[in-house]
Structure 1
Amino acid sequence: MATTDRLGGTLLESRRNAALFWVLVGVLSVFVIERVAIAGDVRTAVLAAVLLVIALVPPVAFRDPTVTLPWELVGIACLPLVWEFLVGVPFRTDVVPYVAVAVVALFLAVELHAFTPVRMTHRFAIAFVTLSTMAAAAVYNVGQWLSDVLFGTAFLLDGRDPDVVNAVVMIEFTYATVAGILAGVAFAFFFERRISPASERTYVPPYAPGEERERRAAVEGKTLARRLHLSERTQRHLTRGMQIVLGIVLAYGVWTLHLPTIANATVALVITFVPALLERDLELPMDPGLVLWITVAVFLHALGSAGLYDAVGPWDHLTHALSASVVAAAGYAGFRAIHLHTDAVYLPPKFMGLLIGVFVLAAGVVWELLEFAIDQFAIRAGIPAVLAQHGIGDTMMDLLFNLVGAFVTAVWGTVYLADVADSMSERFEEWGER
């Protein structure tokens, strides 16, 4: 049965592939037992057991041992574990383990597509894999840090200077980002050259839940402006007022020659005009409340750079949560537009919430790397840092409050972004017709 469902085609019906797959499953099973019974390494054993369960889903779901994932990919996912088992030491670089994480993320994408209402194209799955690999690095390190703080373990906080630990984590984030991008490129090649069209059994038809597929996400009349109980005129005045204050902050930075204030106030001021440009050039509807939301986030960050970060302890957490909520809103609008644009992609609300979290964590990793790079450059150049980090605790708290912003957007803000998502979907249609 010819089909363009390449993601479904990842599930192979081949006796040769199945034979090699089951050999790897056997090796992985032995590894899990060895890690628990002999080495006492429960953490690695759990990771291997999770991989084992994910790998076994297709043959169990189809009740057919010949329907399996590609053995080459299973081998790559097993490689870091088998290497440590045979050689006795982990890889000297984290790129290979994070490539394995990317493979696991691809397996999850395939199985979500095949066995749940979620639908993805192989291109969407590749983007999901890249984002998930970066997000996994954030989750893994935040989890270790929380364990150290709450339970006294020493995964990260092992007596080294907090700045040294933070630098090590930034290097790991770099490896995860590189691995995610490399895996995305490799998977694109893999889908084009290695994966055949899905068979009659593995083909997954588009998900079509009737009217829900076309229903708007927003409830009629529940605009952000109305829920804020502020008139549109008042919200526009508040936005203009913050733009004026940002102009004053910028002038203060120029007057005092304070580079961080100049840079942050300039960027914030520019961002406040972006919604108007989007509305004018792309015809994306920008609710005044949405514009106010974006303006408040960049406004508070600019004030922080002008001195409030040092003067008010929680200010950094507040701005990270607000900024993350804006990033989450942008991610949601983009994903929702793709969801509406094509029947080949269907993102149910629960999965959309997860996707927003993954997107924000990945964006958080990029942001922390940017802060680290700018901070290190400023130290070496002997100039004030436009963005700065303050040890591993600061980085981990930033990522945690990024999740708070993502959660707020997922449970409260998405309903108000439907107009933007609908308009983006229409733009996709117009661009596709050209």
Structure 2
Amino acid sequence: MPVVRSLIENERVNAALAWLVACSIVVAAVATVLRGSFLWATLATVIVALALVPPIVRRDALVMAPWEVLTVAAIPIWVRLYGTLPIAGFLTVSAIALLVTVELDAFTPIEMSPRFSVAFVVLATMAVAGLWVIAQWVSDVVLATSFLTTKDELMWDLVYATAFGGLAAVLFVVYFHRHDTASEGRRGRSGDPS
């Protein structure tokens, strides 16, 4: 989608904000480890690792995912520092799927149609949710935690994650379509055909 590429037109501002958000996630991950919540620290680390893939691969610190997407991924991590939010895990999982989708679309030759990107975000969310459930199970077995208490709760967790994946996918399409329309309007007024 050329729409994501237009989001990163002002690379310096985007990179500065994205690096700020990424650094705040690192701080949140360290604080989460100090509180003994290793699974949440792992999720925060995954978000930071995904954020660092484009600048490492391109060897350019200005090549970052849109700061808005990183902020969406960071919000549940930050919220978990100050309390509990029952849907934080689902938000984080769908945000990771959204971040992967944006980076694939923006920084690779892959171009996704809006319909495909919706399906991709939902399926990626379901896959990450499955990995999250496995991590919770391993934590319950190895560390004697009690993340998974009943099978019904497990199934509803997967349903909620899928629902949040669908919401993230719709927001992805609406946000980037709106931004693409605004970019085309600016280009049309300036007389620049590119």
Change (3 A) 1:34 1:137: same
In the alignment, the residues of structure 1 paired with residue 57 and residue 65 of structure 2 have an alpha-carbon distance, to the nearest angstrom, of 12
> Rg: which structure is higher?
1
In the alignment, the residues of structure 2 paired with residue 167 and residue 80 of structure 1 have an alpha-carbon distance, to the nearest angstrom, of 24
* Cα-Cα RMSD: 2.7
In the alignment, the residues of structure 1 paired with residue 9 and residue 98 of structure 2 have an alpha-carbon distance, to the nearest angstrom, of 15
In the alignment, the residues of structure 2 paired with residue 155 and residue 120 of structure 1 have an alpha-carbon distance, to the nearest angstrom, of 42
In the alignment, the residues of structure 1 paired with residue 161 and residue 148 of structure 2 have an alpha-carbon distance, to the nearest angstrom, of 21
In the alignment, the residues of structure 1 paired with residue 143 and residue 103 of structure 2 have an alpha-carbon distance, to the nearest angstrom, of 37
Residue in 1 that maps onto 2:2: 5
Residue in 1 that maps onto 2:85: 91
Structure 1 residue ranges without an equivalent (≥5): 159-164, 198-434
**Identity level (%):** 35
Residue in 2 that maps onto 1:173: 158
TM-score (norm 1): 0.37
1:39 and 2:31 correspond: no
In the alignment, the residues of structure 1 paired with residue 139 and residue 54 of structure 2 have an alpha-carbon distance, to the nearest angstrom, of 34
For the Cα contact (< 8 Å) 1:18–1:65, is it kept in 2? yes
Residue in 1 that maps onto 2:76: 80
Deviation at 1:12, TM superposition (A): 4.7
Following superposition of structure 1 onto structure 2, how do residues 204-243 of structure 1 map, counting pairs within 5 Å?
none
For the Cα contact (< 8 Å) 1:6–1:121, is it kept in 2? no
Residue in 2 that maps onto 1:21: 18
Deviation at 1:133, TM superposition (A): 1.2
Deviation at 1:76, TM superposition (A): 1.0
Residue in 2 that maps onto 1:66: 62
In the alignment, the residues of structure 2 paired with residue 61 and residue 138 of structure 1 have an alpha-carbon distance, to the nearest angstrom, of 28
Deviation at 1:142, TM superposition (A): 3.6
Question: Which of the two has greater helix per residue?
Answer: 2
Residue in 2 that maps onto 1:299: none
Residue in 2 that maps onto 1:103: 95
**Counterpart residue type for residue 16 of structure 1:** V
Change (3 A) 1:113 1:51: same
SS at match of 2:2: coil
In the alignment, the residues of structure 2 paired with residue 157 and residue 49 of structure 1 have an alpha-carbon distance, to the nearest angstrom, of 22
**Counterpart residue type for residue 155 of structure 1:** S
SS at match of 1:60: helix
TM-score (norm 2): 0.77
Residue in 2 that maps onto 1:133: 125
Q: Which has the higher contact order (CA 8 A, sep 6+)?
A: 2
For the Cα contact (< 8 Å) 1:133–1:180, is it kept in 2? yes
Change (3 A) 1:77 1:157: closer
For the Cα contact (< 8 Å) 1:25–1:52, is it kept in 2? yes
Deviations 1:57-104 (A, max 9, x none): 22233333332211111111001111121x2x2213x2x542332232
Following superposition of structure 1 onto structure 2, how do residues 310-325 of structure 1 map, counting pairs within 5 Å?
none
Q: 1:48 aligns with which of 44, 50, 65?
A: 44
SS at match of 1:121: coil
In the alignment, the residues of structure 1 paired with residue 77 and residue 56 of structure 2 have an alpha-carbon distance, to the nearest angstrom, of 24
Structure 2 residue ranges without an equivalent (≥5): 185-194
SS at match of 1:66: coil
Deviation at 1:54, TM superposition (A): 0.7
SS at match of 2:3: coil
Deviation at 1:28, TM superposition (A): 1.2
Change (3 A) 1:128 1:82: same
Deviations 1:261-310 (A, max 9, x none): xxxxxxxxxxxxxxxxxxxxxxxxxxxxxxxxxxxxxxxxxxxxxxxxxx
Deviations 1:101-156 (A, max 9, x none): 22321322343456667x2414222211111112322332244335545x473334
In the alignment, the residues of structure 2 paired with residue 134 and residue 54 of structure 1 have an alpha-carbon distance, to the nearest angstrom, of 18
Deviations 1:415-434 (A, max 9, x none): xxxxxxxxxxxxxxxxxxxx
In the alignment, the residues of structure 1 paired with residue 94 and residue 179 of structure 2 have an alpha-carbon distance, to the nearest angstrom, of 18
Residue in 2 that maps onto 1:194: 179
